[in-house]
Structure 1
Amino acid sequence: MTEKSDEIKERIAKLKEDGKLSAEAEALLDELSLQFAEMERSNRALRKAVLKAAGGQAMSSRLRDALYE
């Protein structure tokens, strides 16, 4: 998991510990957390596929900037 997702999970856990969430809110946050993790996984897979389709070489930022000018 990324640092951001770990931070979000910690914040959710703290809210649960403090009893500041209703049962419905907890269920919703758990569902959103799972969807967030799936989107991160999907994003990594798509990035790998794009790099593979590009021949495994990423365009340098300098070249990309020159092409977009």
Structure 2
Amino acid sequence: MTENQDSYKERMSSLKEKGALPPEAENLMEELLTRLAEAERSNLALRRAALKAAGGQTMSTRLRDALYE
């Protein structure tokens, strides 16, 4: 899990403890966090597949950073 996801979970937990988070909102946020995790796993798999399809050639750091923005 990424730092952002951990941060979101901590913030959600804090809101829940304060009673500022209705159950419906909590369920929605949990679903969104699950989908975010799935999207990150999928993104990583696609990156690996693209690298493998390119014959293992890596691109320059500048190009990679520009493409991933």
TM-score, length-scaled by structure 1:
0.80
Structure 1: gaps of 5 or more residues: 65-69
Structure 2: gaps of 5 or more residues: 65-69
Q: What residue is the counterpart of 1:16 in the other structure?
A: 16
**1:41 maps onto 2:31 in alignment:** no
**1:32 maps onto 2:60 in alignment:** no
Of 44-53 and 55-64, deviating more is 55-64
Q: Which has the higher contact order (CA 8 A, sep 6+)?
A: 1
Identity of aligned residues (%): 62
Which consecutive aligned stretches of 4+ in structure 1 deviate over 4 angstroms post-superposition?
none
Matched residue count: 64
Aligned positions of 1:53-64 closer than 5 A: 53-61=53-61
RMSD: 1.8
TM-score, length-scaled by structure 2:
0.80
Q: What residue is the counterpart of 1:7 in the other structure?
A: 7
